[in-house]
């Protein structure tokens, strides 16, 4: 089966005997040659994806911003023409210019607790923003959707099974949003 793909190898050996020829006269000498075929296979290629407890992407005519939360410790090292950063997201600028963020993007100032939770989650909205809340399963299925119009909100999670859920809070006026990873422990 494999003989069609293996190369044909021919080998000729010559042995010259000198003073020890008398000792070897009339004896048979065996040479063992081991040939192991080497097979090479290429694996699959995987496109880069990020699974992170929180993050967002936004773009405008001035540029784009992508951030993720996940690495507790990051480090950056740079030279005049190279920047290396540890973490999920690596930035680069094809023109060779260093990229920087001049303005801080205004995040929604919300408090979400307790996390992990067993029965409920509280959302403090001290800015009284008009918010929409969505809860997704680990498979991306929308499980809950509602409007939050008060400063202190409580969402009952007692009917949800133990596991990981994703909560998205969207400000209705500006479409800014925060996303959170929730852990239901009972």
Residue 158 lies in a domain: yes
Residue 49 lies in a domain: no
Q: Can you give the CATH number for the domain in which 148 is found?
A: 2.60.40.3080
Question: pLDDT tens string for the chain (186 positions)?
Answer: 545 555 555 555 555 545 555 556 667 666 565 555 555 555 555 555 555 566 666 777 777 666 666 655 556 666 666 666 665 555 554 444 444 443 334 567 788 899 999 999 999 988 888 899 999 998 899 999 999 988 899 999 999 999 999 999 888 888 888 888 999 998
The pLDDT of residue 177 is: 83
Total structural domains within the chain: 1
Q: Which of 164, 171, 170 is nearest to 185 (CA)?
A: 164
Residue 137 lies in a domain: yes
Write the DSSP symbol of residue 8. P
Residues whose CB falls within 8 Å of the CB of residue 165, separated by 6 or more in sequence, listed in order: 135, 136, 137, 138, 143, 157, 181, 182, 183, 184
Gyration radius of the chain over CA positions: 33
Tally of helices (H runs) and strands (E runs) in the chain: 1, 11
Residue 64 lies in a domain: no
pTM, 2 dp: 0.45
Domain hosting 158: range is 111-184
Residue 163 lies in a domain: yes
């Amino acid at each position: 089966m494999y003989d069609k793909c293996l190369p044909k190898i021919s080998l000729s050996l010559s042995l010259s005997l000198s003073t020890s020829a008398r000792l070897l006269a009339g004896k048979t000498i065996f040479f063992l040659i081991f040939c192991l075929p080497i097979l090479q296979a290429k694996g699959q290629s995987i496109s880069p994806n990020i699974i992170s407890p929180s993050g967002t992407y936004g773009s405008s005519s001035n540029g784009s911003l992508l951030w993720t939360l996940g690495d507790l410790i990051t480090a950056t090292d740079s030279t005049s023409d190279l920047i290396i950063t540890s973490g999920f997201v690596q930035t680069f600028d094809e023109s060779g210019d260093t990229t920087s963020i001049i303005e801080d993007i205004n995040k929604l100032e919300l408090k979400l607790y307790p996390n992990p939770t067993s029965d409920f989650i509280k959302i403090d909205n001290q800015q009284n923003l008009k918010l929409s809340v969505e809860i997704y399963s680990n498979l991306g299925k929308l499980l809950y959707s509602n409007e939050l119009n008060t400063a202190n909100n409580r969402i009952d999670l007692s009917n949800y099974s133990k596991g990981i859920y994703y909560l998205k809070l969207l400000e209705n006026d500006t479409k800014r949003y925060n996303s959170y990873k929730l852990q239901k422990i009972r």
